[in-house]
Amino acid sequence: MKKRVPTFFLNLDRKVYRRFIRLALTPVVLLGVHGLYYLINPGNVLWSACTMQTTGQFTLDLLASFFFSWLIIESSIGIADGLEKYLPWSSSPLLRFLMQVMLTLLASASILLVENQVYTWIYPGKLTPKEELETWQFFVISLLVSLMISTVHTGYFLLTRWKNTLEEAAELKVRAMELNEVALQAELQSLKLQLNPHFLFNNFSVLSELILEDTAKASRFLDKLSKVYRYMIQNLKQDLVPLKDELIFVKAYQYLIQIRHGEQVYIQFEIDNGLLSKWIPPITLQLLIENAIKHNRATRTEPLTIYISQVENHLRVSNNLQPLPNPLPSTGLGLGNINNRYKILSCEMPKVGADETLFWVDLPVFDYPQYDPQDG
C-alpha cells in the first residue's frame, strides 16, 4: 500500500503553520522534555521539590519553562528558514543537514545555559553532585527535543515542497496536453485543407472542356459538382463523418467520374448494413478513388473497377491493377493525407496491400461519438 502524506499539515499555509507551531508545540515540548526526563530519572529531587513550592513559585517556574521552550522552538524554526535562503536543501543536502544540526544544538545549548542561570537566580545555592548530574540529564534531553522540533519543521517544509512540485508537474502536464491537442487540431485542419485544391484541379479541368463541347452537360456537371463540393466544405470541419453519409457522397461523386471517364471507370459497392453505423474521416473514399484513377490506365476494353467493400470490421477500397506505361510522379498527397489524419485520430492505421492483380487499402472505422482519439 502507498503511504499517504498527512494532508492536514500539507494544507496549512506558512503563517497558519507558524502560528500552529507556536501555540501547539510549546506546551508539547514542555511536557515532552519533562516527561522524558521523568522516564529517565523518576527519583529526581525535582519532583519532590515541586510539591514543596508555593503557588507563586510554581507559576513562575512554569512560565519560565514555557518561555524557554518557546525560544527553543523559534530558534529551531528560524535556523531552518535562514539556512534555506543561503544553503537550500537542493544545493547540498549533506552540508545543509550538518549545518542545521550544529546550529540548532548551539542555539538550544545557549538558551538552556541562560535558562540555567535564571533558575540559579530563582533558586540560589550550590548544587550537589547528584543535582548537577540531573541538570546535565535535563540539558541533554532538551537538546534532543530541539533536534526533534527541527526535524518536524524540516519534514513539513520538504513535504510542502514535494506537494507543490507534484501540483506544478500536474499543471505542466495538463498544459502540455492542451498545447498538444491544439497542435494536433491545427495539423488536422491543415491536412483537410489539402483536399480542396486536389479535388478542384481535376474537376474544373473537365468542366472547362464540357463548356466548349456541351453546355447542357456542363450545366448538369456544375450542379453535381456544387452539391459534392458543398458536402466537402460542410464535412471538412468534422474529424469523423457517418460512413453512410460518406457513401452517399461517393455515389453522387460517381456522376462526376462518369462524365470524366465514361465507361472506363466503374465503382462497385458491397457493404453490409451493420457497417453503415460506423464513422470515418471525411473525403477518405474520394481520395482513394482519385488515387486509383491517377495511377492506373482505364479504357473501354480494360476498364478500371474500384470496389468499396467490407473485410471483417474494416472498410476496403480496392481496384484492379493496370499500371500506366509511363506512370506519373506521385506527390504522396492522397495516401499521405489519409495516413496523417488517422495518425492524429487513432493508433490504428490504414493497411495497404497488393498482389499481381489487385491493390487495396483497408480503412479502420470508428464507433463515434464513443470513440475517443486520446484512447486510440
Query: Using an 8 Å Cβ cutoff, are 246 and 285 in contact?
Result: yes
The tens digit of pLDDT for each residue in 77-89 reads 778 778 888 888 7
CA distance 25 to 362: 71
The tens digit of pLDDT for each residue in 211-235 reads 888 888 888 888 888 888 788 778 7
**pTM of the full structure:** 0.50
Read off the C-alpha cell for 237: 470541419
pLDDT of residue 1: 39
Of 217, 345, 202, 187, the residue nearest 281 (C-alpha): 345
Spell out, as residue ranges, where the chain has pLDDT lower than 70: 1-58, 60-62, 64-65, 119-120, 122-139, 141, 149-150, 153, 156, 178-199, 202, 236, 328-333, 368-376
Query: Using an 8 Å Cβ cutoff, are 206 and 221 in contact?
Result: yes
Query: Using an 8 Å Cβ cutoff, are 111 and 75 in contact?
Result: yes
Domains, in order of start, for the chain: 7-167 (no CATH), 194-364 (3.30.565)
pLDDT of residue 6: 46
Give 125-190 as a DSSP string. SPPPHHHHHHHHHHHHHHHHHHHHHHHHHHHHHHHHHHHHHHHHHHHHHHHHHHHHHHHHHHHHHH
Of 300, 301, 318, the residue nearest 309 (C-alpha): 318
pLDDT of residue 9: 43
